[in-house]
Amino acid sequence: MRFDRLRLSGFKSFVEPTELLIRDGLTGVVGPNGCGKSNLLEALRWVMGESSPKSMRGGGMDDVIFAGTARRPARDFADVTLTIDNRSRRAAAQFNADDVLEVSRRIEREMGSAYRINGREARAKAVQLLFADAATGAHSPALVSQGRVAAIIAAKPVERRALLEEAAGISGLHVRRREAEIRLRAAEANLARLADVMAASEAQAASLRRQARAAAKYRELSEAIRAAEARLLHARWAAAQEEVRAAEAAQDAAEATLNELTRAAARLSAEQANAAAAMPGLRAVEAERAAAVQRLTTARATLLAERAAAVQRLADLDAALAAAQAETERERGRAADSAATQARLAGEREMAERAAAEAEAARGPGMAAAEAAAVASTEAERGLASAVEAHAALLAEARSARAGAEAAKGRAERVGAELARLTRERDAALASRAAQESVAAIAAAEAEVERLAGVAAEAAEAIAAAEAERRAAAGARETVERALTAARSELAGLSAELAALERLAAGAAGKVKGRVALSVAAGFEAALAASLGEDVNAEVGAGAAGEKPVRRWLGAAGEGDPALPAGVRALAAMVEAPVELARRLRQVGVVDGVPEAALLAGLLPGQRLVNREGALWRWDGFFAPPGGAQGAVAESLRQANRLAELKAAVAPAKARVAEVEAELAVQKGAESAAASAEAKGRAARAEAERGREQIAGRLAGLRAAAAQAAARVEAMSASIARLGAEGEAARAEAVAAGAALADLPDASAAAGAVAEARGRAERARAALAAARAEAAGVERSLAEARARMASLGREITEWQGRDAAAAGALEALRRRVAGLGEERARLVSEPAAMGARLGLLEQELGAAEEARGQAGDAVLAAELSLAEVDRAARAANGAVADAREARATMAARVAHAREGIQALHAQVVATFGIAPRALPEALGFARETVEVEGLAARLDGMVAERERLGAVNLLADKELGEIEAGLAVQKQESGELETAIARLRGSIGNLNREGRVRLLEAFRAVDGHFRDLFVTLFGGGAAELRLSESDDVLEAGLEIMAQPPGKKLQSLTLLSGGEQALTACALIFALFLTNPAPICVLDEVDAPLDDANVERFCNLLDHMAGLTETRFLIVTHNAVTMSRMHRLFGVTMAEAGVSQLVSVELREAERLVQRT
């Protein structure tokens, strides 16, 4: 299939009919941004079945219709037509009758879109399958839109599997498998629903069977219950008749008993009335006598209380009289003490008054003497201060002169000592051995610094040599690592392919039991599959006795079989198989291509010819083209051969990996040794540098110490000169101070004047103190006398107040004692009188209690007699009541028995329609006596058994027949669904097997092309594809590993932007080489590439255009890419919102230029 042209009308910005010619080679589409270049790619995707408005950069599919501009109205439809050259007949079978296919899609606003193929309406799915079978479509990786390269780079490995599926050409296979899976799920859902319906029907049928059995049991029990009810009702009716007769007899007996008991009760009632009439008089006498006893008892208790109160009052009066007399004595004593105290206080007050008068008289002279002593003391103190001041001035002047002389002398001595010390130290420093040793140490340190600098330089040379060796070893190690990576990658690829083929082989072995163990030479798999077909799955050898018959290769002698035509090789020479297949294989010939008619005519019965492609010619004229059901068998044989090859190749690959790993260990050892030598050199250099730094530091210290010593000597010389001058000045100052001290006057006369003045001052201070002490004593005595006089006056006043209070208290006590005496005299005779009255009351109370006891005994006897009569009367009345109740009970029993007979009669009539008497004759049972309780228990048991049956469906038999008829129809439908599901599962399995085979083949092919194209694009390096994330190739992801020149093998995502873009381009073109699409659209793929990579990209495009029949449509802005195109289409927008297409045939233009 070849895409020839694309016509657009009303699609987005292409409002006018526009035709884009798609020719062989490279067709470029150029134009400024926003002019509508990408609309061409979107039109191509839209006509191939794109259904997502978002992919069309719109909110709805109507957005692809020209929306109008300021100068042009909007269109109501859009139409895109793709013209395809189908002379190769690669389209689907229903479209292969035409050499040219025109696929068009037309959309009308708000009415949806419609597809047509050569003018005939087609479904969208048919259009999508048409392009999918041609390895292209709306979502084909061959349509690389803007950002598609970045999407491939950023895609997950599982998402990249779609690229591999496109290369394998199984996109249409996926669609068919998806449809089959949808139908399978629908069929399984229908089967599950049918199973649920059948299960419900089976449950309903089982329930109806139980209901039918319950209905039969119900009918049987109902008949038995009817007979038992009749017998029980008749027996109860007869028993009720007997019960009526017995109840009437009992009722007569109860009536006679009631009459007798009534007469006895009347007699006892009369006796009870007589006894009760005598009781009030006896109780009145008892009450009067009890009241007299109570009155006398109360009077006795009152008299006893009064006598006790009188005795207690006499005792209280005696105690009060004693207390009043004692209080009177105490008050009289206090009055005597008060008189004595007042006399003493009056004497003390007179003495205090005399002392106060004496102190007042001595107060004036004392104060005058104290003032005169104060004046004399002041004068003496002034004289002492003047004498002390004069003496202190003389002493201070002498001390100052003496101190100045001593200080000058001491300073001169100290300066002389310091001068001598400094002179000694200077001379010692100049002549010391340390100075000489310091010079020698400095020279030795300088020599050591130079030696260590030489050692560091030698170490640096060793480091450079070791570093060079390490770099060389690292380069060798990287080379070996790359070789190891390649070896491991090869081993991983072989192992992955081996594991995948082993899983496929295991799965096939599990699905096909007993397949013949065959081995066929490479290239003859299709021939063997065509010759054996499905017979390859038959078992070999005779089966066990009694085993179910199956297809088998039993083997047969073939000595007389005819030979194959001359020049034809027998297939048996290329096949290793069990002997049972030998005869079949010897009669199959292998030819190249299509055999001639003469050769076919020479075939004898049983013989057949096959070629390597899998075509079959049989002796009877039958011909089978390659493919069909034999394709899977051939593929399994190829997989078996490939499995053997892989098993043979894995061991050398592992050996190569081990060999390279050993070499890598050697190189790593060399690199480690070089690195160790380099580290040792660096350590030696560091040690030398540290030693040099230490010696240099010590040298600097020595030099500083020498400079410090020289400076110290110089400083000491300066100090010696300074101290010499200071010593001369100090000695001169000491001489001057001694002369000034000798010129000072004598201070002894001033000291005598100070002593005399101090004596006078001390005598004046003593006289002043004595005068002041005497005056203070007089003042103190006067104050004390006055205070004592005031205190004594207050005490005398208090004692006088106490005397008045004591006189009042004595008068009160006298009156109280008189009153208490009178009251005691009045109460003394009362207790004896009260005792006499109490004796008389005791006698009267004894007589009253005796009379009350006699009256109480009479009442008690009468009450006992009355109680006995009452009990007898109550018993008689109770017996009468019981007799009446018994009579009523018997009457009720008779009435109840008669009602029971009537109820039984009515029940029998209602149930059976006859009287109870006629039941035995009507239902055929004897009139014998029946045990009612036993019969009722049996009837209850039967009724309970019938009740346990619950609600019974009496139409269960009819409903069961209808359900069983429906079940038969459902079982037939279930069988049909299971057959359909088995067919669908087989179809899906075949599609999966075919998909795995084609996907593995595509992976190998794409991987090979990708490796070559990567090297071509990058000018070296290596790359590979890996299957990851799943063992099933249909679910595995596609991982891209790349190693640009000078770098290590790594994942695509770790490369730079330009490297990623070139690697993705290599993958896209590898897919083209594997399963070339009719068209490839590259929309600004070269945008992220620099000029050098653009050249490589264009070279690859030229290579791909010459190698495949793919037609390339390239949208670009790059001038280098434009110059490499075979033709250019320019998209312009002369009018806002309206795109136009112009073209230039660059090859024709070049030829015209060359001719002119």
pLDDT in tens, 521-538: 888 888 888 887 777 777
What is d(CA 114, CA 107) in angstroms, rounded to the nearest whole number?
6
Q: Strand runs (DSSP E) across 413-543, as ranges?
A: 519-520, 539-540
Q: What confidence category does residue 114 fall into, taking pLDDT thresholds of 50, 70 and 90?
A: very high
Task: Provide CB contacts within 8 A for 138, sequence distance 6+.
Answer: 45, 46, 48, 49, 50, 51, 55, 128, 131
Span 703-717, mean pLDDT?
Answer: 67
- 995 and 1117 assigned to the same domain: yes
Percentages (nearest 5) of helix, strand, coil residues in the chain: 70, 10, 20
Domain for residue 675, yes or no? yes
Q: What confidence category does residue 6 fall into, taking pLDDT thresholds of 50, 70 and 90?
A: very high
277-280: long-range contacts, CB 8 A cutoff, minimum separation 24: 278/862, 279/859, 279/862, 279/863, 279/866
Domain for residue 815, yes or no? no
pLDDT higher than 80, residue 689: no
pLDDT higher than 60, residue 1062: yes
Give pLDDT tens digits for 1006-1024: 888 888 888 888 878 889 9
Please report the pLDDT score of residue 435 as a whole number. Answer: 58
Give pLDDT tens digits for 379-391: 777 776 677 667 6
Please report the pLDDT score of residue 715 as a whole number. Answer: 64
- 474 and 508 assigned to the same domain: no
Please report the pLDDT score of residue 30 as a whole number. Answer: 92
Q: Look at residues 1019, 1020, 1016, 1067 and name the one whose alpha carbon lies nearest to residue 1041.
A: 1067
Residue scoring higher pLDDT (825 or 1050):
1050
* Mean pLDDT over each residue of the chain, to the nearest integer: 79
pLDDT higher than 60, residue 702: yes
- Where is the domain boundary, 741, 768, 795? 741
Query: Is position 35 annotated in a ligand binding site?
Result: yes
- 637 and 671 assigned to the same domain: no
Please report the pLDDT score of residue 744 as a whole number. Answer: 64
What is d(CA 1092, CA 1062) in angstroms, rounded to the nearest whole number?
11
Please report the pLDDT score of residue 171 as a whole number. Answer: 64
Question: For residue 6, what is the domain's CATH number?
Answer: 3.40.50.300
Domain for residue 1076, yes or no? yes
Helix (H) or strand (E) holding 389: helix 171-431
Give pLDDT tens digits for 117-133: 988 899 988 888 888 87
Please report the pLDDT score of residue 108 as a whole number. Answer: 92
Span 843-854, mean pLDDT?
Answer: 79
pLDDT higher than 80, residue 568: yes
Please report the pLDDT score of residue 107 as a whole number. Answer: 93
Q: Strand runs (DSSP E) across 133-179, as ranges?
A: 143-144
Please report the pLDDT score of residue 614 as a whole number. Answer: 85
Please report the pLDDT score of residue 103 as a whole number. Answer: 94
pLDDT higher than 80, residue 617: yes
Q: What confidence category does residue 1077 fall into, taking pLDDT thresholds of 50, 70 and 90?
A: confident
Q: For Cα atoms 382, 385, 391, give the angle at the middle one, nearest 5 degrees.
A: 145
For the ranges 38-52, 448-462, 638-652, 874-888, the one whose mean pLDDT is highest: 38-52
> How many residues are there in the chain?
1156
Query: Is position 1065 annotated in a ligand binding site?
Result: no
- 724 and 625 assigned to the same domain: no
- 1017 and 1069 assigned to the same domain: yes
- 569 and 677 assigned to the same domain: no
What is d(CA 258, CA 614) in angstroms, rounded to the nearest whole number?
129
Question: For residue 676, what is the domain's CATH number?
Answer: 1.10.287
- 509 and 639 assigned to the same domain: yes
895, 329 contact by CB (below 8 A): no
Please report the pLDDT score of residue 262 as a whole number. Answer: 79
Span 471-490, mean pLDDT?
Answer: 80
- 457 and 532 assigned to the same domain: no
- 678 and 600 assigned to the same domain: no
Domain range for 168 is 2-177+991-1155
Please report the pLDDT score of residue 318 as a whole number. Answer: 78
List Cα–Cα distances, 532 to 520, 528, 637, in angstroms. Answer: 12, 6, 12
- 624 and 576 assigned to the same domain: yes
Span 929-941, mean pLDDT?
Answer: 71
Please report the pLDDT score of residue 105 as a whole number. Answer: 94
Span 726-745, mean pLDDT?
Answer: 72
Give pLDDT tens digits for 500-514: 677 766 765 555 444
Query: Is position 33 annotated in a ligand binding site?
Result: yes
Output DSSP code: residue 549: P
- 35 and 167 assigned to the same domain: yes
pLDDT higher than 80, residue 1102: yes
Listing DSSP states for 677-706 in one string gives HHHHHHHHHHHHHHHHHHHHHHHHHHHHHH
Domain for residue 722, yes or no? yes
- Where is the domain boundary, 718, 741, 764? 741
Q: Which of 393-402, 704-713, 1042-1051, 1101-1110 has the lowest mean pLDDT?
A: 704-713
Give pLDDT tens digits for 283-330: 777 777 777 777 777 877 787 877 777 777 777 777 777 777 777 777
- Where is the domain boundary, 741, 776, 792? 741
Give pLDDT tens digits for 148-206: 778 788 888 888 887 777 777 676 677 777 888 888 888 888 878 877 887 777 777 77
Please report the pLDDT score of residue 914 as a whole number. Answer: 83
Please report the pLDDT score of residue 743 as a whole number. Answer: 67
Span 474-488, mean pLDDT?
Answer: 80
Q: Which amino acid is at 293?
A: V
Domain for residue 309, yes or no? no
Domain for residue 876, yes or no? no
Q: Is 616 helix (H, G, I), strand (E, B) or coil?
A: strand
Query: Is position 1098 annotated in a ligand binding site?
Result: no
Span 363-391, mean pLDDT?
Answer: 72
Tokens of 456: 């560091």
pLDDT higher than 70, residue 516: no
Q: What confidence category does residue 1155 fall into, taking pLDDT thresholds of 50, 70 and 90?
A: low
Domain for residue 371, yes or no? no
Please report the pLDDT score of residue 912 as a whole number. Answer: 77
Please report the pLDDT score of residue 302 as a whole number. Answer: 80
Counted domains in the chain? 3
Domain for residue 407, yes or no? no
What is d(CA 133, CA 291) in angstroms, rounded to the nearest whole number?
140
- 624 and 673 assigned to the same domain: no
Dihedral class, residue 555 (left if φ above 0, else alpha if ψ from -120 to 50, else beta)? left
Q: What percent of the chain has pLDDT over 90?
A: 4
Q: What confidence category does residue 246 fall into, taking pLDDT thresholds of 50, 70 and 90?
A: confident
Query: Is position 38 annotated in a ligand binding site?
Result: yes
Burial environment of residue 852 by CB neighbours within 10 A (0 to 12, 13 to 18, 19 or more): buried
Query: Is position 748 annotated in a ligand binding site?
Result: no
Please report the pLDDT score of residue 167 as a whole number. Answer: 74
Q: Strand runs (DSSP E) across 1090-1148, as ranges?
A: 1111-1115, 1127-1135, 1138-1145
